[in-house]
């Protein structure tokens, strides 16, 4: 696998990591330890599959550290071990860098760690988006319908830009869009993202939007957040990119 120009591969024993070149000296001792130690002052992140936290990296950079965790029924048997010659953390790094190059508001990956060989464990380290919260939390914290509509409009614009860039998010939901100051500002978790020649085709767009709508129904069972004004705002903003919105 070819790493993007801005990253270098460091290794020690059965551990290897792709790390942004300017951070390699500071992060390599931590990343290449036989067991990745939880950093001092870590703040747990409640969303996701567990284990993720915010912390200050060696060298002073604020980051989010996300160990890879299995989802679905397989998680009952295998918690954090994966199989393959092309480790998912490295693939996510490559996909995220390319998505950012195409103009997607994806978080920046600082490093990707792989421990093992064909059977491996992985960790992704991304730059922290200061003061940002998952979109679902921003919607819950917005007391006024107008505020929720503004968030929905912003989400429509960000998702449309991602689709226009030829990127299909594998798990587009209200926890993988981050919001700050009343607007969606970042997309996270591009593990297994599909990148094609832009724009993304209609069937892939519709699958992404259905997944986002299912997320809203699951997290907003009483319909208090996804009110008609917010839904209309998302559709209108998404359609401004030239895409019909069957959502």
**pLDDT (tens digit, 9 = 90+) per residue, 187-207?**
999 999 999 999 999 999 999
Q: How far apart are CA 60 and CA 84, in angstroms?
A: 33
Mean pLDDT of the chain: 93
In a domain, 69, yes or no: yes
The structural domain count of the chain equals 2
Q: What is the CATH number of the domain that holds 232?
A: 1.10.510.10
Q: What is the pLDDT of residue 75?
A: 47
**44 lies in which domain range?**
7-127
pTM of the model: 0.92
| DSSP 8-state assignment for residue 190 | -
Same domain membership, residue 208 and residue 121:
no
Q: How far apart are CA 172 and CA 107, in angstroms?
A: 14
Percent of the chain with pLDDT over 70: 94
Last residue of a domain, one of 100, 127, 154: 127
Q: What burial letters (b/e) apply to 94-126, b meaning 16+ CB within 10 Å?
A: bbbbbbbebebbbbbbbbbbbbeeeebbbbbbb
In a domain, 247, yes or no: no
Identify the CA nearest to 147 among candidates 74, 227, 81, 241.
227
Identify the CA nearest to 187 among candidates 172, 166, 206.
172
Same domain membership, residue 23 and residue 115:
yes
Same domain membership, residue 112 and residue 34:
yes
How far is the CA of 147 from the CAs of 6, 72, 127, 141, 225, in angstroms? Answer: 38, 34, 27, 9, 11
| Segment 54-93, tens digit of pLDDT | 999 999 999 999 999 976 555 455 678 999 999 999 999 9
| DSSP 8-state assignment for residue 73 | G
Same domain membership, residue 143 and residue 116:
no
In a domain, 164, yes or no: yes
């Amino acid at each position: 696998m070819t790493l993007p120009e801005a990253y270098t591969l460091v290794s020690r024993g059965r551990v290897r990591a792709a790390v942004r070149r300017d951070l390699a000296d500071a992060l390599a001792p931590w990343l290449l330890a036989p067991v990745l130690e939880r950093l001092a002052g870590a703040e747990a992140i409640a969303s996701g599959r567990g284990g993720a936290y915010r912390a200050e990296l060696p060298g002073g950079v604020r980051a989010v550290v996300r160990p890879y965790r299995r989802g679905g029924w397989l998680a009952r048997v295998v918690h954090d071990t994966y199989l393959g010659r092309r480790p998912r953390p490295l693939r996510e790094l490559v996909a995220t860098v390319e998505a950012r190059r195409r103009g997607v508001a994806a978080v920046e990956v600082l490093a990707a760690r792989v421990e093992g060989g064909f059977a491996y464990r992985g960790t992704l380290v991304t730059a922290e988006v200061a003061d940002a919260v998952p979109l679902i939390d921003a919607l819950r914290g917005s007391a006024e319908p107008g505020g929720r509509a503004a968030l929905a409009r912003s989400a429509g614009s960000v998702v449309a830009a991602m689709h226009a860039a030829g990127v299909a998010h594998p798990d587009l939901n209200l926890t993988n869009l981050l919001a700050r100051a009343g607007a969606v500002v970042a997309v996270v978790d591009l593990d297994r993202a599909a990148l094609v020649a832009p724009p993304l085709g209609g069937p892939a767009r519709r699958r992404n939007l259905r997944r986002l709508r299912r997320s809203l129904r699951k997290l907003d069972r009483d319909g208090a957040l996804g009110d008609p004004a917010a839904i209309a705002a998302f559709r209108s903003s998404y359609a401004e990119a030239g895409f019909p919105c069957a959502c």
